[in-house]
Structure formats: C-alpha cells, structure tokens
A and B are shown apart, each in its own frame.
Chain A
Amino acid sequence: MSRKRTTMASLLVALLFLALSPLCLAAGLDAQDLLRKVDRNLEPESYEMYRKLINVEPSGAKKEFVLYSVKKGNDKVVALFLEPASDKGRSTLRLGDNMWLYIPNVGKPVRITSLQSVIGGVFNNADILRIDYAAEYVASIEEEHKDTLVLMLKAKTGEVAYDRLKMWVERKVLLPVKIEAYAASGLLIKTLHFKDIKDFGGGIRRPAVIETDSPLYKGYVSIMLYAGIKARQFPDEAFTLTNMHRVEELRK
C-alpha cells in the first residue's frame, strides 16, 4: 500500500514537473535565450513551408496569395509565389539585410527594401521574408504575468524594418500571442495576432494563423495561414540571385 502511495506521489511530482517545465525554463533563461526558444518553437532553423496570405478590405473584398518559402540558418530565406496566376513565378530572396525581387516578365532580380511590399496590403517584404527574431533584435523582459511574458525587442541595426517589437509570449508553450511593431518615432505600425496552435508534425507545434492589422490601414486586415511546415536542408546556392528564377525546382 505504502509502495503504491510512493509511486503515485512520484507520478504526481513528475507530472507537476512536466506541467511547470516551460515556466522553469522561462525562469531559467535570459530574455535573448527566451527569444531564441520562441524562434525555434515557431519554425525549425531550416525549413520549407506553404503560406496563404489574404488581404481583406473593409468592403469584404479580398485578395489571396500562396507562397512556398524556404529558410536556411539565420539569414537566408527565399519565397516563391504559386498563386494568383498574375504573380505566379515571382520570387523574393533575402540574404541578411539584402533583399531582391524577381518578376518573370522583367527577367532579372532587382533589389528591394524591407519596408516595401511586393503584395500590397498590410504585409511588407520584411514580414514575408522574416528571419529569426533573435537574429535581428535584442530582447529584454518588460513585464511578467501569470500566463504571459512581455518582451521588448530592440532592433540591432538601422537596417531592420521595425525599430522595436513588443512581444506577448505565452509562458506555457513559449509561443507569441501578439506582437506590436513600432517605428523609431514610436509610431505603432502594425499588430500581429497569433492564433490557432496546431501540430504540423515532426515536433512542430505552433500558431497556424497570424492576423495582422494596422492603424495606418484602418479597416484592413491581412491573414497569413500556414501549412506543410517541414524541417529540410538546402544547399547555400539555393539562396542566390542566379537561382531566383528556378526556386520552383527546390520543391519536391
């Protein structure tokens, strides 16, 4: 009987430990480590994924884009437009702070800047070609609540699209719930709401939806739906200008 009680107690302790481990983890990590953990919980370091971007106008009219994206390491991302037909074959490449756009009709990559938007609406190029938050920002813990932590992220350089980010992180799963993006002037540029946590397989469990609104575009909402996120390795040469019109060939 006493042995059974001991086993039960051990089990309870183990369960309690498992339940509280994210909190312990959060408590034991500094802000930058926490941010790295958030990055890894959102995506593997190198991956492929599919996204649908929906721009919704106040009238209810909407425009949709489907992108295939590939990322490697800390600073390499390439995205290919699969839909609509008018944008099919366009690709965008990011190598560190460098960004390019390839349009099939134009036939050569042109440099673009992070604040431009290749799709219009609330999303800009930095949102579409996002690299790890920890690669671009220095984090500090601003507030601690029972269920959430609030991180303040300051851009490491002037090349980063948003000067500051305020990130609400759910302590239990170390995933963002909301991010506010600010310009250097303190102006709120946009707010991202992370929703619908889903298991993508391969140990990836993250929000499948990001809803974005902006006080600069009152009444407009942009929605990003995620699918098919998989860890995958690519050679560095996949992330070059020469390869931009052949991104499709990376898909299996």
Chain B
Amino acid sequence: MRRFAACLAAIAAFGTYAYGAESYTFDASQFEKKPFELGGYLELKGDHFALNRGAAFYQLNFAGIAPRETLDRSTATLKLTGKARAGDWLLTARSHSESVHDQLAHASESRFDELVASWKPTPGFTLDAGKTVLKWGKGYAWNPVGFVERMKDPNDPELAREGFTVLAADIVRSFAGALRTLAFTPLLLPVNSDVNDDYGRHGHLNVAAKLYLLYRDTDIDFYFLNHGSRSRRFGMDFSRNIGTNFEVHGEWARIEAQEFALLDTAGALTRRTQAATSWLLGLRYLSERETTYIVEYYRNGAGFSADQYRAFTALVQRALQAGTQSPLYQRVQTLAPSYGRQNPLRDYLYLRVSQKEPCDILYVTPSLTAMVNVDDKSYSISPEILYTGRNNLELRARAVFLGGGRGTDFGEKQNERRVELLARIYF
C-alpha cells in the first residue's frame, strides 16, 4: 500500500505531454527547495556618448582634459545572489562587481548590495539584521518617500541598488473586511564612519518606520524617519487599480529641514534651511492593443527654480573664465554635486509608452520614455527595444536624446546623445 502511494506521488509529480512533434515533460521533484542556492547574471554594456561641449557639466567634468566630441565606455557587471537556509533562518547575499573602461579612465568596484540574516518563525513576523534594500513608495520614476534608500535613477528605475545596514522587523496581520492587511515595519539605521557612512551625519542611530494598510482595495503606506543623520521627515503613498487595465498612485513627503544652497541672478550664494514638501501623482494604463502607458508628475520640493539653476550655469561660465585655481571655481565645484544631481529642479513630467509584442512578435517590447522639465521645458527622450525571447538572455538597445538649450536642466548635462547596447545573461 505504501509502495502504491509512493508510486502515485511520483506519478503526480511527473508528467509527459506531446504537442505536435514535441513531447514535454514536467518533473516537479526537480524543483525541490534547496538549503543552498546560487544564481545571478552577467551584464555587458557598451555606451557611446556624444558630448555636449558647450554644457556647464561638460566643462566642469572635463576641465583640464583635451576637448572631446565623443566618449565610448564599456561596462562588465557581475551580480551574484546566494541564499542559505536553516530552519527559520535565511541568509541572503547579493554581490555587485563592476569594471568600467573608457578612453579616459578605468575603474573597478566590488561590494555587497545585500548581506542580511532573516529570522522568520511565521509568515506574520520577520526580523532582518544586516545590509538590505528597503524600497519605499509607489512611484515608478521617483520616490519622494524613499527615506532609507539610495536615490533611484529615473532613466533606469528598475536597476538593482545597494542597501543600507539596518535592524528591521515586519509584523503582518490579515483580516476579513474592509481592512485586509496591516503591516508594521520599524527599523534602526546606525550611521558612523564604519556603517552607512554615506547616509548622512555620523553618530546617530536613526529610527524609521512604515505602516502599510490594504484598505478597501487600496494600498496605503505611512512613513516616518526621525531627526538624526537627516532631518525629520514623514510621508504617505497610495496605489489602487481602477478596472482591469488602469492603476493610479501617488506619494507625498514632508522634510522638516531641507538645506538649500541658492544663487541669485548675480551669482551671490545664500544658504537657507526650510521645510520642503514633495509629491508625485501617477497612473499606469494598459490599452486594448496592449500598449502600457506610465505617466507621472513629480513636484520636487527640495529642487531649485529655473532661475536659480540658470544662475548656477552662468556662474560656471564665469568661474571657468576666472580659471580653475580661482575661489569662484572652487565655490562652483562645491555647489556642483547639488546642481548636478538627478532631477535638481522642481517640476517634472514622465511618460513611458511600451508596446508588448507588436505585430505578434513575441518577447519584443519597444518603448519610448520622455522626461520633461516643466520649469524650463528641457527634455530627455529615449527610444528603447527589449528582447527576452531566449531563456536567460535579455538584450536591450537604447538611445537617449537630451535637449533644451543653454541654462536648462537637460541642456546643460554632460552629454547630448547616448546610445546603449546591453546584454544580460542569467544563470
């Protein structure tokens, strides 16, 4: 009888099916959970940059270097993921090794993006200790509520990022009724010269928390970060499906004390600390022709006005004329990281249109992404084609065109065009 039951179980886990000339088998026992796992991908990327020699950030970044029209860069990235399990314990490691080479420099880097031990005695409780990636917010291109994470690149929002070292818990409860899920995530984030040294001011044990509710089919989150390495901030977000093909989402964040380094039109610098409110509204729509539209409007409360940004670019020109040893040039170099960060101005519009498998060509997804700076009307337009038709291979070709003229956000970037070819091999 036992032998019969074992035989039945084996048959249940194994199946063969013939379709056309092909015979398909499925043996579920091949997919048993393992105590150790190793996987990852190798990414090879080639970039061709057409440099914008008149732009402020070209002149700053290429000061003292022979003028160039183009730059070619090749990047090899290896990302390994490993997991080890023992009872209720799970150790997760995600490494990142990168080698970048172009005509001007060669650089290599290796780090752990994630190295965290988790204890999960029940699906309703988890304790994480170590370096992990916490991603807060519902926005696709931006996350104003991302208080405890490294900044997302809106040009590649799905790119894996490096985490911070934390002690965090997840406490989850499910209910019947209008409130379906309630989850509370408190966390501690220490900052000193050895741990999370790039997060903010050293010598603080930062406390943050997230409260998540699934209430009346709407995801709602509330966020909090205490005053410490960064000023106190709080926020919320929501996301909801309206129909089978339409989703809306939004985020709102308040930073109690944001530091601004402001320039007037004469180039005089004022440092000011004041509250800043950022928000985002977005939607995702799938048409009957399977075209996906993602639209987001982002108000960056910590951003500069178009006039302030223009004043900075004018100051760069004056500083270059004064020479790289001049105090004015040194002041510009001090301000450059703030003005040169991703999306430094106040109002942005993001649109991504992607067409799934056009003309019945499976696994091919062409898309077009546009980012417009509403304040100065500068823009970035990026056509892209992605192919995922072969198992464990992803191929992507992308071009990026920036425009807007002198004194504008995208018009003063280092590059005016970029072509990228990427191959990702998973194992």
A142 proximal to B (CB < 8 A)? no
Contact B360–A111 (Cβ < 8 Å): no
Closest residue of A by beta carbon distance from B94 = A104
> How many pairs of A and B residues are in contact by the CB < 8 Å rule?
204
Interface string of A209-251 (1 = CB under 8 A from B): 1010000011011010111110000111111111100101111
A34 proximal to B (CB < 8 A)? no
Contact B362–A120 (Cβ < 8 Å): yes
Partner of B123, one of A103, A110, A234: A234
Most buried by B among A60, A88, A235, A242: A242
A6 proximal to B (CB < 8 A)? no
* Residues in A whose Cβ lies below 8 Å from that of B33: 248, 251-252
Contact A63–B363 (Cβ < 8 Å): yes
Q: Which of B12-20, B189-197, B372-380 contacts A (4 or more CB under 8 A)?
A: B12-20
* Residues in B whose Cβ lies below 8 Å from that of A1: none
**Taking the nearest CB of chain A, how far is it from the CB of B391, in angstroms?**
5
Contact A117–B356 (Cβ < 8 Å): yes
A107 proximal to B (CB < 8 A)? yes
- A-facing residues in B213-250 (Cβ within 8 Å): 214, 217, 219, 239-241, 243-247, 249
Contact A82–B31 (Cβ < 8 Å): yes
| Also in contact, A243 and B391, with CB within 8 A (given A106-B135, A208-B17, A238-B123) | no
**Taking the nearest CB of chain A, how far is it from the CB of B30, in angstroms?**
9
| Also in contact, A57 and B362, with CB within 8 A (given A98-B214, A237-B173) | yes
Contact B241–A243 (Cβ < 8 Å): no
Closest residue of A by beta carbon distance from B393 = A86
Tell me the bound Cα distance from A121 to B361 in angstroms: 10
Most buried by B among A60, A63, A234: A63
Contact A98–B389 (Cβ < 8 Å): no
* Residues in B whose Cβ lies below 8 Å from that of A55: 362
Most buried by B among A117, A121, A201: A201
Contact A243–B356 (Cβ < 8 Å): no
**Taking the nearest CB of chain B, how far is it from the CB of A123, in angstroms?**
12
Contact A120–B39 (Cβ < 8 Å): no
Chain B residues in the interface with A (C-beta under 8 A)? 5, 8-9, 11-15, 17, 19-20, 22, 24, 26-28, 31, 33, 39, 41, 81, 85, 90, 118, 120, 122-124, 126, 133, 135-138, 140, 157-161, 170, 172-174, 180-181, 183, 185, 212, 214, 217, 219, 239-241, 243-247, 249, 284, 286, 292, 356-357, 360, 362-363, 388-394, 424, 426-427
